[in-house]
Amino acid sequence: MPKMKMMMILPVLMLLLLLVPTPSFSLFEDQVGFMDWHQRYIGKVKDAVFHTQKAARKRVVVSTHENVIASLDLRRGDIFWRHVLGPNDVVDNIDIALGKYVITLSSEGSILRAWNLPDGQMVWESLLPGTKSSKSLLVVPANLKVDLDSPIFVYSGSCLHAISSIDGELLWKTDFATHGIDVHQLILPSASAVVHAVGVTDLSHFHTYEVGVMSGEILKHTTASFPGGVYGEILPVSNDRFVALDASRSVLVIISIQNGKTHLQQTHVSDLIHGSSRDTVILPSKLSGIFTVSTDTCIAFIKVTDEGKLHVMEKVDNKVVVSDALSLSEGEQAFALVQHGDSKIHLSVRLVHDMSSNHLKETVEMDHNRGFVHKIFINSYVRTDRSNGFRALIVMEDHSLLLLQQGEIVWSREDGLASIIDVTTAELPVEKIGVSVAKVEHSLFEWLKGHVLKLKGTLMLATPDELVEIQKIRLRSSEKSKMTRDHNGFRRLLVVLTKAGKLFALHTGDGRVVWSSLLQSLRSSEQCSQPTGLKLHQWQIPHHHALDNNPSVLVVGRCGSSLSSATAMSIVDAHTGKEVQNMVPTHSTVQVIYLPFTDSTEQQLHLLIDADNRAHLYPKTPEAAEIFQRESANVYWYSVETEAGILRGYGVKTKCNLDEYCFEARNLWSVVFPSESEKIIATVTRKANEVVHTQAKVIADEDVMYKYVSKNMLFVATVSPKASGPIGSATPDEAVLAVHLVDTVTGRILHRMTHLGSQGPVHAVLSENWVVYHYFNLRAHRYEMSVIEIYDQSRAENKDVLKLIVGKHNLTTPVSSYSRPEVMTKSQSYFFTHSVKAISVTSTAKGITSKHLLIGTVGDQVLALDKRFVDPRRSLNPTQAEKEEGLLPLTDALPIIPQSYVTHAFKVEGLRGIETVPAKLESTTLVFAYGVDLFYTRLAPSRTYDSLTEDFNYALLLLTIVALVVAIFVTWVLSERKDLQDKWR
């Protein structure tokens, strides 16, 4: 009878198994963007050229400090096209030729390129070799015609080049190095057959050359003595007049060229501007017949009369930003002035021939978090009444870009996010019924407005703008975009610090900016000049007080470029972006040390090491000092002196005389690498918050190896001095790469390995008991990746079962740097196809999930490589036990699997770093890659073994369960009926 029941149930179960969805681990096209997002930026704009012809789409072409050339839509600010030239190809000048080519000069004037204006495709490229280093100048004739006889002029490498605007061919070159002249300006008068080169020799003689446009022959040369010397640049006032400052910056010199002779006329700045100082500079405003002088008190517009006399036309506040001149018609120019007020900016446009009145005056509301205006570019358009209207492209202090027109901000771009220097994360608020901890819930009016919009959308009565607003509301209310934390830990805030000293909080769900804050501590002021951001640390992570306190971050900066400059510090609320505390310490900061201790308010303890090797404790509270003194015997740190080739280790000695939170350091050890044989090029240590699940590693034949897990291990890479340059700077016989594993408590070198015929750059990642590093093999002419795993031999005797039974083992004994470790290493090297920009490793909450290496390739993509591919125990013919363990057969090269690219088809242009954050779900890690672009995704190295996938069919699962219950009930009824019939027989 049981056999009969099974035969009846089996077909039902087989049918139900067919209904259950089979697991799929592929990524479909429609899934891209569900768990990831990608944002494109350009960086801080340094030059802009407008192209607003009626027949073409209105655009502005810009170059940025991130070496990006981009074409932006003037209507919306979107990117039409963009090229990232790389860190070593700095853009010097940019212009538009023939109305269809974008001309760029880069790499100190050695590379001239033409790009197609509509689509950004490169038309031609010209390499301009020079004889010696010099400044670079680019002149594109305004009336350039489609003719090979209309050249583009470039001065670079002390040579003047004439380049064909059609195909980039070099027409002629004139070398000025033989004349010993340093050219400051190139001037090409309209419809002129000569180009003027203006410069100085030895800062004491002024020279002008007239060079033939067609032949490059020097037709005329004039000179004049300039005894006072020149400060800065010689700037043109007109075609035959120039202005310069003498070396003392107290005398203005007008240089006039008349009838082939040069005349100098000197005027003291104090005679024109009372109260002027030595901070006088001439601004390159390019106004016809007028030049602009900036002092510490004001900005003065000075007119040069026909007789060469100087007349101050107007003085404005020295905080006013002045644009370059804009030609409106024959002989007429306009320029813009921008002055910043309280949360407003005042824009005025003036005509050169009428400086006394404003041709246009507008006031625009401005977010104070954008800071001051740094630069302005203006463009004109014709209004319906045939008058001239103006639009202004403004670069703000936080590197954002805005377009102003008719008194309003047409669009804005947060391009400061292209220059991220550090990243940390913060938890979102805990969700409470009826309460919003982060105060981000909408008001009742907004709630009603949202429902009205949704109703209009349902009834198909919504306008296009309302449909866009409805889509935004849906995105905000979606599960992944909520402003509360989830039980899996997927929703978080990415807190990033930019070069501009601005903090941004990005939501991991969709990448939107939750808040931004331009830190007062990192803004230029009398107390802190030339501030720069250094590090970003988690300051307070409330667990027990999560409902009462918000998490906060510590921002550490420096007031100046030298290591001895004073420190700038801020504590910022991670939920609101408000500065909780703005500290101005008197000491410098060379290093920030994150201590594994917290006080009763859950504030993290930090040590700031100054230039004199003193340690300053933060927060400065008696409780923090008590905790630190209790644990100070086990606090160590190290420093790396790259130029000197020295590693030094330090510990806490005694309190210093500055205050009770200052401690003197004692030198514990030092490792000196001889400068004649080794130079430090890379150092890497483990993440402070990395979790290791187990120290034991079970290998083939049920054997056990014990990982040497120490948070004090440091990876150091050195090369021979001749190999410290770029690839190819040394021969294989001269190049030596050495890697070291150093204990930073004792200074003991645990392991050293040498790679002959290899050189950097070296990119490495250190995790658990292994390190993987990437370098170049000169002998094989290929990149390589090597792995070193280090094991603790002192625990090898724990394999004796009898000792484990009687308790004579040392499994629970902590790893200590005080005892000399008995270590064993295993290593292996593999060829790798790509060069590498950055390398990281996945991290999970408990450290159980297998590791993947995240490799930022030269193509600005992120590749996920399983750690098993770089296992040093791989062999050509693995045994059956090794195959069961998961070891892969040995190959000489690491595979590049297209499906393993985390970034899919996207590129993170200018990739600089990859940050990984563990989610609460053990299988998942959060990955954030940043450069000029930003990219975020979720990654499951061992697949989502502890959760259902996002596209799991819950309806089909419910249907399957119901079908199973019904099938079981029906089968039971049929079985009972069959039993009853059998009993009646």
pLDDT tens digits for range 100-117: 899 999 998 899 999 999
For residue 554, pLDDT beyond 60: yes
Residue 424 placed within a domain: no
pLDDT for the residue numbered 801: 52
* Alpha helix ranges (H) inside 703-834: 801-806
Do 240 and 256 contact (CB within 8 A), yes or no? Answer: yes
Q: Mind listing the pLDDT tens digit for each residue in 304-345?
A: 887 778 888 888 887 888 888 888 877 788 888 998 877 888
| Strand spans (E) along 778-905 | 782-792, 823-832, 836-841, 852-857, 862-866
Number of residues written out for the chain = 985
Q: What is the pLDDT of residue 817?
A: 72
Amino acid at 739: V
Q: Look at residue 514 and tell me whether its pLDDT is greater than 50.
A: yes
Whether residue 884 is predicted with pLDDT greater than 50 in this model: the reply is: yes
| Residue 347 maps to a domain | no
State phi, psi for 223 to the nearest 5 degrees.
Answer: -145, 160
Averaging pLDDT over each range in 180-194, 257-271, 506-520, which range is the top one? 506-520
Whole-number pLDDT of residue 272: 83
Choice between 28 and 247, residue whose per-residue pLDDT is larger: 247
Which of 761, 713, 714 lies closest to 737 in space, CA to CA? 761
The arithmetic mean of pLDDT across residues 959-977, rounded, is 91
Q: Which domain holds residue 978?
A: 960-985
Mean pLDDT value of segment 249-278: 79
For residue range 35-69, list pLDDT tens digits in order. 889 999 999 999 999 988 765 678 999 999 999 99
Residue 15 has pLDDT above 70, yes or no: no
Q: Is the pLDDT of residue 16 over 50?
A: no
Contact between residue 347 and residue 336 where contact means Cβ atoms under 8 Å apart: yes
SS3 sequence of 261-306: EEEEEEEEHHHHCCCCCCCCEEEEEEECCEEEEECCCEEEEEEECC
pLDDT at 145: 52
CB 189 within 8 A of CB 210: no
Residues 6 or more apart whose Cβ sits within 8 Å of residue 318: 294, 295, 296, 297, 298, 299
* pLDDT at residue 794 in the model: 77
What residue type is 657 in one-letter code?
A: N
Q: What is the pLDDT of residue 56?
A: 65
Q: Is the pLDDT of residue 439 over 90?
A: no
Is the distance from CB of 40 to CB of 71 less than 8 angstroms?
no
Q: Which pLDDT score is estimated for 384? A: 80
The residue among 596 and 330 whose pLDDT is bigger is: 596
Strand-pair category, 862-866 with 852-857? antiparallel
Q: How confident is residue 404, by pLDDT bands cut at 50, 70 and 90?
A: very high
Strand order in the sheet with 111-116: 91-97, 101-106, 111-116, 122-127
Rounded Cα gap, residues 839 and 202, in angstroms: 48
User: How many structural domains are present in the chain?
Assistant: 2
The 8-class DSSP code of residue 432 comes to B
In a domain, 81, yes or no: yes
| 287: confidence class by pLDDT, cuts 50, 70, 90 | confident
pLDDT digits (tens, 9 = 90+) for 908-945: 999 999 999 999 989 899 999 999 999 999 998 888 88
Taking the CB of residue 409, how many other CB atoms lie within 10 A of it? 15
Q: What is residue 729's predicted lDDT score, i.e. its pLDDT?
A: 86
User: 151 preceded by cis ω (within 30°)?
Assistant: no
How many Å apart are CA 945 and CA 849, to the nearest integer?
10
Q: How far apart are the first and last CA of the chain?
A: 15
Q: Please give the pLDDT value at position 699.
A: 80
* Structural domain includes residue 139: yes
Of 129-138, 333-342, 428-437, 841-850, the range with the lowest mean pLDDT is 428-437
Residue 239: band (very low, low, confident or very high) from pLDDT cuts 50, 70, 90: confident
Contacts of 900 (CB under 8 A, 6+ apart): 863, 864, 865
In the chain, % helix, strand, coil (3-state, to 5) comes to: 15, 45, 40
Residue 231 located in a structural domain: no
Task: Tell me how far apart the alpha carbons of residues 653 and 451 are, in angstroms, rounded to a whole number.
Answer: 65
Distance CA 396, CA 518 (A): 11
User: How would DSSP label each residue in 435-499?
Assistant: B-TTS-SPPHHHHHHHHHHHHHHHTT---HHHHHHHHHHHHHHSGGG-SS--TTS--EEEEEEET
| 270 backbone dihedrals φ, ψ, rounded to 5° | -65, -25
Q: Read off the pLDDT band of 248 (50, 70, 90).
A: confident
CA 161/CA 170 separation, integer angstroms: 7
Structure tokens at 320: 């006013």
Is 694 within 8 Å of 709 (Cβ atoms)? no
CA 274 to chain centre: 45
660 assigned to some structural domain:
no
Handedness of CA 496, 500, 501, 503 (dihedral sign): negative
Model confidence at 4: pLDDT above 50: no
Mean predicted confidence (pLDDT) in 188-213: 83
Q: Which of 443-452, 457-466, 687-696 has the highest mean pLDDT?
A: 687-696
Percentage of residues in the chain having pLDDT higher than 70: 90
Q: What is the distance, to the nearest Å, from the Cα of residue 708 to the centroid of all Cα atoms in its chain?
A: 34
Taking alpha carbons only, the member of 595, 694, 598, 687 closest to residue 917 is 687
Q: What is the pLDDT of residues 763-817, one digit of tens each?
A: 999 999 999 999 999 999 999 999 999 998 877 665 555 555 555 555 556 667 7
In 619-757, DSSP assigns E strands to: 636-641, 646-655, 662-672, 679-685, 696-699, 703-706, 713-719, 736-743, 749-756
Q: What is the pTM of this model?
A: 0.87
The H-or-E segment that residue 503 falls in is strand 502-507
Residues 377-393 have pLDDT tens digits of 999 888 888 788 889 99
Measured CA angle at 792 (ends 787, 793), to 5 deg: 115
| pLDDT computed for residue 148 by the predictor | 47
Distance from C-alpha of 689 to C-alpha of 444, rounded to nearest angstrom: 42
Dump pLDDT digits (tens) for 834-853: 999 999 999 999 989 999 99
How far are the Cα atoms of 37, 290, 312, 329, 645 from residue 305, in angstroms, in the given order?
A: 59, 9, 11, 22, 61
What per-residue confidence (pLDDT) applies to 680?
94
Q: Residue 121: CB partners within 8 Å, gap ≥ 6?
A: 115
**In sequence order, which residues have a C-beta less than 8 Å from that of residue 107 and are 6 or more positions away?**
88, 89, 90, 92
Residue 438: band (very low, low, confident or very high) from pLDDT cuts 50, 70, 90: very low
Residue 533: what residue type? Answer: G
Residue of 827, 754, 836 whose CA lies nearest to 786 = 827
Residue 237 is given by DSSP the state: S
CA 409 – CA 373 distance, rounded (Å): 14
Longest CA pairwise span in the chain (Å) = 135
Does 76 fall in a domain? yes
**411 band by pLDDT with thresholds 50, 70 and 90:** very high
Whose tokens are 């009369």? That residue is: 305
Predicted confidence (pLDDT) at residue 715 exceeds the cutoff of 90 = yes
CA distances from 913 to 30, 562, 898 (A): 27, 25, 21
Q: Which of 309-313, 755-759, 944-948 has the highest mean pLDDT?
A: 755-759
Give the E-state strand segments of 541-657 in sequence order.
552-559, 566-573, 579-583, 591-598, 604-609, 614-618, 636-641, 646-655
116 located within any domain: yes
- Tokens 């990415």 appear where? 494
- Mean pLDDT across 204-210: 84
Listed residue (768, 848, 863) closest to 815, CA to CA: 768
Question: Is the per-residue pLDDT at 300 higher than 80?
Answer: yes
Q: Compute the mean pLDDT over every residue in the chain, rounded to the nearest whole number.
A: 84
Stretch (H or E) spanning 11: helix 2-19
Q: Which of 65-79, 304-318, 613-627, 852-866 has the lowest mean pLDDT?
A: 304-318
Note the pLDDT of residue 800. 56
Q: Is the per-residue pLDDT at 177 higher than 60?
A: yes
Q: Helix count (H) and strand count (E) of the chain?
A: 8, 64
Alpha helices by DSSP H, 837-951: 880-885
Angle at 746 between CA 741 and CA 751, to 5 degrees: 20
Q: Fill in the amino acid letter for 603.
A: Q
Q: pLDDT > 90: what percent of the chain?
A: 39
Q: Which of 605, 585, 586 shows the shortest CA–CA distance to 595?
A: 605
Position 597: which residue type? F
Dist CA 393 CA 45 (whole Å): 10
